[in-house]
Structure 1
Amino acid sequence: MRPIGFVAAGLLLMAGPAWAQSSASTDAGWPCDVEPKAKLELSDYWKQPVASEAWRSNAEVASLVSDVAPRRVAQDEAVARLSALATRPAAFRGLVAAGLVETIDAERHSIIVGIKRFNARQALLATRIESSYAQLEAPKGAPVEASKAALEEQAEWDTRIFEDRQKMLPVICRQPAVLEARLGALISALKSTPKP
């Protein structure tokens, strides 16, 4: 069994400031170093005026967006397809840009919500672990040996789960930025000029 006295403090450090602010809350905040923007704006990517909702009613644009926006499509392949649009009117490419921003931002939003849920589950688990170790350390009303062994086993198991999940956090935290980088590359391809 690991030293009980250091476990709660260690979990607090691992879970970070969001957990410290609200350990028992179901909305434990943002666990990553940098909190992403709530929403990506078309104007940050495409400076020419675009009727941003109109891309859905253009069958060609909607089909193209659904073909290149998903992450399962290799970025090089998506960039090549969009670069091939260099001779198309700016208005058409603007509609494609609007579709890309909306579609990729929707996926990004889902990931952000998922990260917050992940952090809330970690906060609740950390609270449960802390409570278990507090019970084991309690001088009065200590559990009988069988109950104590079961409590120790559960606390150890919960701690292992917590730590394994926490190791995934750096990769999870990068995902919104990965999508933003993909979007930037796709929009850059749309802005490319025809080669002479």
Structure 2
Amino acid sequence: MRSAVRYPLLCAVLATCLSLPPVAVRAADFSDPTWPCIQRKVENLSVGLMWPYPVEPVDLPSDIQQSVDTLVSRLVLRRIPVEELAPDVAAFAETHGHQVTLLSHVFSKAFNTLAGTRRKLMTGIGDYSLKQIALAEKIDDTRARMDELMAADSPDFDQVDALEEQLDWDERIYTDRARSLTYVCESPVLIEKRLYAIAQLLQAAMTAE
């Protein structure tokens, strides 16, 4: 049986000590407990920061709009590298034109789709963080209870063993979640990078006439 020494695991949630290097931990701002990532929290993206042209409503013929929707459905498919979509964008521009208004419409639809996906991911990260905090509190409480039992004149070793088994399980879950934190936190950033790459690809098509 292990020695039951209590320590504040909650600080490990906020500092993500199990998955981030010390330098990264010092650079992070954990004033928001629902945001455990080293990356700065930016809840909403702006079209204007990625697309330098006006995005105006357009009323397209059904066949062109269908082509737009088809192209956008591929642009937002994250398993396809953006650079592999250059022929799709070139073919679209060659067929329907290189106009700023049309390609702005394409970017706007891609932006709205990926920004929506990103918002859902941000919400999921917040839920993830709150679950880690709750689990950390549970682990600390279990350790405190084990300390109390062991300090008794006649410790209930059966109960201590049961608590130790639960503690092992909870710590394993906590550690597994912490190890996946880097991937979880990178997902919104990867979407931002993809949107920027899509913008560059579409802008290049404007000058490819």
TM-score tier, shorter chain, comes to 0.7 to 0.9
Query: 1:103 and 1:194 mapped to 2: Cα distance?
Result: 25
Query: 1:162 and 1:15 mapped to 2: Cα distance?
Result: 9
The structure-2 alpha-carbon separation of the partners of 1:103 and 1:143, relative to structure 1 and needing over 3 Å to count, comes to: farther
Query: 2:3 and 2:203 mapped to 1: Cα distance?
Result: 59
Q: Select the residue among 91, 107, 120 that pairs with 1:97.
A: 107
The structure-2 alpha-carbon separation of the partners of 1:4 and 1:146, relative to structure 1 and needing over 3 Å to count, comes to: closer
Partner SS, residue 16 of structure 1:
helix
Assess if the C-alpha contact under 8 Å between 1:83 and 1:189 holds in 2.
no
2:146 matched to which residue of 1? 136
Q: Select the residue among 130, 147, 156 that pairs with 2:168.
A: 156
Assess if the C-alpha contact under 8 Å between 1:129 and 1:155 holds in 2.
yes
The structure-2 alpha-carbon separation of the partners of 1:150 and 1:51, relative to structure 1 and needing over 3 Å to count, comes to: same
The structure-2 alpha-carbon separation of the partners of 1:81 and 1:15, relative to structure 1 and needing over 3 Å to count, comes to: same
1:153-183, Cα deviation, whole Å (9 max, x unpaired): 1011101110111011112111111111111
Structure 1 residue 17 displacement after superposition: 5.1
**What TM-score, normalized by structure 2, do the two folds share?**
0.77
2:118 matched to which residue of 1? 108
Amino acid at match of 2:126: K
Query: 1:141 and 1:108 mapped to 2: Cα distance?
Result: 55
Structure 1 residue 96 displacement after superposition: 0.4
Structure 1 residue 88 displacement after superposition: 1.9
Structure 1 residue 44 displacement after superposition: 1.5
**Within the alignment, does 1:35 sit opposite 2:40 as a pair?**
yes
Mean Cα displacement is larger for which, 184-193 or 58-67? Answer: 58-67
Query: 2:117 and 2:13 mapped to 1: Cα distance?
Result: 25
**Within the alignment, does 1:78 sit opposite 2:68 as a pair?**
no
Structure 1 residue 47 displacement after superposition: 2.1
**Within the alignment, does 1:48 sit opposite 2:58 as a pair?**
no
Amino acid at match of 1:108: R
Assess if the C-alpha contact under 8 Å between 2:34 and 2:127 holds in 1.
no
**Within the alignment, does 1:189 sit opposite 2:205 as a pair?**
no
1:12 matched to which residue of 2? 10
Amino acid at match of 2:143: Y
Amino acid at match of 1:38: E
Amino acid at match of 2:80: V
Equivalent pairs counted in the alignment come to 187
Gaps of 5+ in 2: 17-29
The structure-2 alpha-carbon separation of the partners of 1:89 and 1:164, relative to structure 1 and needing over 3 Å to count, comes to: same
Assess if the C-alpha contact under 8 Å between 2:56 and 2:101 holds in 1.
no
**What TM-score, normalized by structure 1, do the two folds share?**
0.82
Structure 1 residue 116 displacement after superposition: 0.8
Q: Percentage identity across aligned positions?
A: 28
